């Protein structure tokens, strides 16, 4: 298939996944801020949100105070913030439009309808909206597109590039979330004595839809070590790094060509780290450095996929 077509499909999926994960993060912070004793104005968790997406500088330049309302508006709606949910959904729709003929009618209509609805969203309207409901809506539009894609699109090469975009973005987003949240929570987390800590870790799990999963897998109290293990090494947990790399590695094997050896090598290497890695080793090396290194490698893999498949250099 045309590289340009693959590129649009891949980015359609990445932007949709990014929008979903952005509201997942917002949702957890928003819920935490509502907890008793969290005194809603806790600036730390809002600056953490900005750190995750590397937006602290951009936010500071707006001159807005670090309040829940301002951060949410900036992350959800700001036209000048290229990673805002608004811009992600616009970009997803623009990519879909460019390859309209490759999508099924349902996929196109889902993406287009999502955009047409959020296009009308303004800060005034957002303030008048139940935020929890709004975050749910964004998540479910993403669920819907993924489901419609799975259920209507021919599972050919085009489909694989959609999936590749989804899992590459998700691996990146889960790693960022874990990195930032883990650090903001850890100092207080020794032994998890306070109930606030319990809720905080619970909220982190909920943000990746893994609260019940944790209970089911560990049948144990929530400990930071196990949360990290679940989100990094558990291959059955659909938002874990291991699960994402399983998908990415598998897809790259299926779409391999003589030009894609480098992407395949990097994915295989990263996959092996997760497949054969042990949590103790990760902790011994330090979780933060490990995650930072992971983010560098996943971004490098994204670059290689771009070079090997999407925008081949003119011969």
Partner 1 sequence: MNAAKPFDEMHAADGTIRTHYQPYSEWLGHTPRELIARKRKEADLAFHRVGITFNVYGADGGKERLIPFDLLPRIIPGDEWRTLEAGLRQRVRALNAFLADIYHGQEILRAGRIPADQVLDNAQFRPEMKGVHVPGGLYAMIAGIDLVRAAGADGKGDYYVLEDNLRVPSGVSYLLENRKMMMRLFPDLFSRYDVQPVEHYPDLLLETLRAVAPAGVLDPTAVLLTPGAFNSAYFEHSFLAQQMGIELVEGQDLFVEDDTVFMRTTQGPRRVDVIYRRLDDDFLDPEVFRRDSMLGVPGLMSAYRAGRVTLANAVGTGVADDKSIYPYVPEMVRFYLGEEPILNNVPTWMLREPDDLAYTLAHLPELVVKEVHGAGGYGMLVGPAATKAEIEEFRQRILAAPEKYIAQPTLSLSTCPTFVDAGIAPRHIDLRPFVLSGGREIRMVPGGLTRVALKAGSLVVNSSQGGGTKDTWVVG
154 near partner 1, judged by CB under 8 A: no
In the list 108, 134, 167, 290, the residue contacting partner 1 (rule: CB under 8 A) is: 108
CB-nearer residue toward partner 1: 10 or 74: 10
Considering only the stretches 47-55, 109-117, 144-152, 224-232, report the one whose residues sit in contact with partner 1 under the rule CB under 8 A. 109-117
Convert residues 156-195 into a mask of x (bound to partner 1 by CB under 8 A) and - (unbound): -x---x----------------------------------
| Contact assessment for residue 224 and residue 186, using Cβ atoms and an 8 Å cutoff | yes
- Min dist CB 155 to partner 1, Å, is 16
Residue 254 burial (C-beta neighbours within 10 Å; 0-12, 13-18, 19+) = exposed
Torsional sign, CA 33, 37, 42, 47: negative
Alpha carbon distances (Å) from 246 to 192, 237, 281 = 32, 11, 21
In the list 33, 56, 112, 196, the residue contacting partner 1 (rule: CB under 8 A) is: 112
Q: How far apart are CA 290 and CA 272, in angstroms?
A: 15
- Whose tokens are 């309808």? That residue is 113
215 near partner 1, judged by CB under 8 A: no
Q: How far apart are CA 166 and CA 169, in angstroms?
A: 5
- Min dist CB 15 to partner 1, Å, is 16
CB-nearer residue toward partner 1: 3 or 33: 3
Torsional sign, CA 28, 30, 34, 39: positive
CB-nearer residue toward partner 1: 100 or 125: 100
Phi-psi bin for 219: left (phi > 0), alpha (psi -120 to 50), beta?
left
253 near partner 1, judged by CB under 8 A: no
In the list 54, 109, 117, 212, the residue contacting partner 1 (rule: CB under 8 A) is: 109
Residue 305 three-state SS: helix
- Interface residues with partner 1 (CB under 8 A) are 1-4, 6, 93, 97-98, 100-101, 105, 108-109, 112, 115-116, 119, 157, 161, 255, 257-259, 309-312, 314-315
């Amino acid at each position: 298939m045309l590289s340009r077509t693959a590129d649009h499909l891949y980015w359609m999926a990445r932007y949709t996944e990014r929008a979903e994960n952005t509201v997942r993060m917002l949702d957890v912070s928003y819920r935490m801020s509502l907890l008793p004793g969290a005194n809603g104005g806790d600036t730390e968790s809002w600056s953490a949100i900005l750190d995750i997406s590397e937006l602290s500088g951009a936010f500071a330049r707006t001159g807005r105070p670090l309040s829940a309302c301002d951060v949410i508006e900036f992350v959800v709606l700001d036209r000048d913030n290229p990673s805002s949910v608004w811009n992600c959904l616009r970009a997803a729709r623009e990519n879909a439009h460019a390859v309209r003929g490759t999508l099924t009618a349902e996929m196109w209509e889902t993406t287009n309808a999502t955009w047409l609805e959020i296009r009308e969203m303004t800060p005034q309207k957002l303030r008048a909206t139940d935020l929890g409901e709004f975050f749910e809506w964004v998540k479910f539009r993403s669920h819907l597109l993924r489901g419609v894609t799975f259920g209507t699109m021919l599972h050919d090469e085009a489909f694989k590039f959609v999936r590749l975009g989804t899992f590459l973005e998700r691996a990146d987003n889960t790693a960022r979330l874990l990195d930032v949240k883990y650090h903001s929570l850890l100092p207080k987390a020794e032994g998890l004595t306070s109930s606030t800590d319990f809720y905080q870790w619970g909220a982190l799990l909920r943000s990746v839809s893994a609260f019940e999963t944790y209970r089911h897998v560990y049948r144990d109290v929530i400990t930071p070590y196990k949360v990290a293990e679940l989100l990094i090494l558990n291959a059955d947990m659909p938002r874990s790094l291991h699960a994402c790399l399983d998908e990415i590695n598998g897809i790259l094997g299926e779409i391999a060509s003589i030009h894609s050896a480098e992407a395949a090598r990097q994915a295989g290497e990263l996959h092996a780290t997760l497949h054969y890695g042990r949590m103790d080793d990760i902790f011994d090396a330090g979780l933060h450095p490990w995650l930072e290194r992971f983010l560098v490698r996943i971004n490098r893999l994204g670059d290689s996929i771009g070079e090997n498949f999407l925008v081949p250099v003119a011969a």
